[in-house]
């Protein structure tokens, strides 16, 4: 899916969920309405996180430099970060609603993680009985260590 289509899809999904959650009520009871809509800000956060940008500053800079024509009311970085922080509760409600729609609360099995988890150092791995048959050997290049690790996803 092209990035343009992904941004449009995320915006439409978030805007629909936000309108459904608010049910024609105002989110803010007092103060000025921000220049960028809450749907736009949440969309920028989701797309930015999807692209590996994990800080408000990096997300704001990316959208200012590459997508300003789609988000023309994007103000200063400080205003963007403040708006992101101020709508944390509505973001929690959106996440809960989406998790519910995806069956996260009703499914009997959930994937927790899918990357290797070190469970024992190499020197002790041969004698360890805790994870026999479930773990294998792996290598951490940054620590220059070999260790026993899980390769299968951990589920419950």
Domain ranges in the chain are 3-101, 111-155
Structure confidence by residue, pLDDT tens digits, 13-55: 888 888 888 877 766 666 677 778 888 888 888 888 888 888 8
Cβ burial 38-52 (10 Å sphere, 16+ → b, else e): bbbbbbbbbbbeeee
pLDDT digits (tens, 9 = 90+) for 51-82: 888 888 888 899 889 888 888 888 888 888 88
Strand partners, 113: 154
pTM of the model as a whole:
0.63
């Amino acid at each position: 899916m092209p990035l343009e289509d992904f941004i449009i899809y995320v915006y439409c999904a978030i805007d629909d969920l936000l309108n459904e959650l608010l049910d024609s009520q105002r989110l803010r009871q007092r103060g000025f309405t921000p220049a960028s809509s809450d749907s736009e800000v949440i969309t920028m956060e989701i797309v930015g996180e999807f692209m590996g940008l994990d800080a408000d500053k990096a997300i704001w800079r990316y959208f200012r430099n590459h997508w300003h024509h789609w988000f023309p009311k994007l103000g200063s970085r400080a205003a963007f970060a403040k708006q992101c922080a101020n709508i944390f509760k509505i973001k929690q409600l959106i996440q809960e609603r989406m998790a519910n729609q995806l069956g996260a609360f009703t499914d009997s099995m959930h994937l927790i993680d899918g990357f290797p988890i070190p469970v024992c150092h190499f020197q002790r791995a041969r004698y360890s009985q805790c994870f026999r048959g479930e773990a294998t050997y792996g290598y951490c290049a940054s620590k220059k260590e070999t260790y026993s690790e899980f390769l299968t996803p951990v589920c419950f």
